[in-house]
Structure 1
Amino acid sequence: MAELFGMLDDEWEALQPYLGGKFTTQTFRNALEQHAPRAWAKLVERYGQGGKGSGNYYSPSNILYNYLNDKARNSLVVRRGFVPSKKGWGTGIVVEWEIADAVAPVTSEEDKQFIEGRAERREHLFRERKAGLRRDLLRARKRTGLSCDICKSTGSHLPEDMRDSIFEAHHDKEPFSTPGERAVTIKDMALLCANCHRLLHRLVALRDQWFEVEEACEQFGFEIRAMSA
């Protein structure tokens, strides 16, 4: 099972655009068949096509369900319960999932004022909440140690397995006036604790102008630590 999960992990990032925020085990299977045919063929080779009358205890769909359930236990996806399945599934219901990084944080009063200001601010929040971006930023920053780029909080007062939860990804490098769509990478992002993130959104909304993190640090009276290259 670990070998198969590793194989699916190799395809996970590439499949996410075909899943959307919410998806079902059926959607995941269809995406794997269409966009990762070698991985799908490996599952079929081992377990057959599955379905009623196959005689196998496990099927490719069982493996995919177990894989997603494992991701839910590790807080990478959220299990949303059962929804009606589409044609081609063996039962009338199927489990629905949601990629954890696509689940928007609860909208705060600061965010409400932020997104009511201008259309570009809504785009800013969309970029911050792009699926997988926060996870990738945390992974990159863990190499040098997690800390907020404004207040330098590390969450050391929390149990180690909970420290990640205080950090959020903030889209830092492009002002609202920058036109057009573009790819967003972790180099464009700052890592902020939830408190400083809210403060920064509040500052932008009140002053109606863009502040990069370094400029915001001057407003807040902090010195920004040197960013990793």
Structure 2
Amino acid sequence: MAGLFALLDTIWTDRLEPKLPSTFTTQTLRDLVESEAPEIWSEFVAQYGPGGKGSGNFYSPSNILFNFLRDKAWKAHVVQTGSVPAQPGWGTKIVMGWEKVRTATIPPTEEDIGLAEGKAKLKLHFVRERAPGMRNRLFAARKKSGLFCDICGSTGHGLDAKIRDAIFEAHHAVEPLSAGERKTRVEDLALLCACCHRLIHRLASVRRQWVTVGEAREFLKLNARSGLGTAF
């Protein structure tokens, strides 16, 4: 399997990833490998057969491609989004869906890099926190009740409505336990002002453990009661 992964990696950047849509399935990748890299596809077939019922092999090329994408998810190149309906003729009703990670993500700060979750989990957190459209979905849900920071309560009151939204950021508040975690839901998100967003990442770095929004809120309250003021 490692040898096939290495073969796929030789064509991932130039021949596979650019031709994959932003969201795709394992089936999509299989079709792409078969059409764009027949020489590599022949290696898959030679080792595991063409796949499908009656092939006689426990593993199939599709199993290998799924594991390859799962490895890419662990390395934060793609995000595993859960089961989606399969195309006709796939041999199953559902297949795994994936989403490419956009390259135009905000670089991590120094305190982000120091977060003691391990590189893979940290990368996964960034991927989910900056997933396309996530901030817009959160804003749409929160504007009904009013925008405010879930840690300090700041509302941006007094700012021009045209720029007020700019002080808020989406924070993926669910601990990234594994690359196979479900697709992000609005309920998994916290709305934070830019100061508190940076604060919660710094707290996690200093404490070397995951920090919840509630814990960050209590941290600010304790500092306020002790006369030290807030982090800003």
What's the TM-score once normalised by structure 2's chain length? 0.48
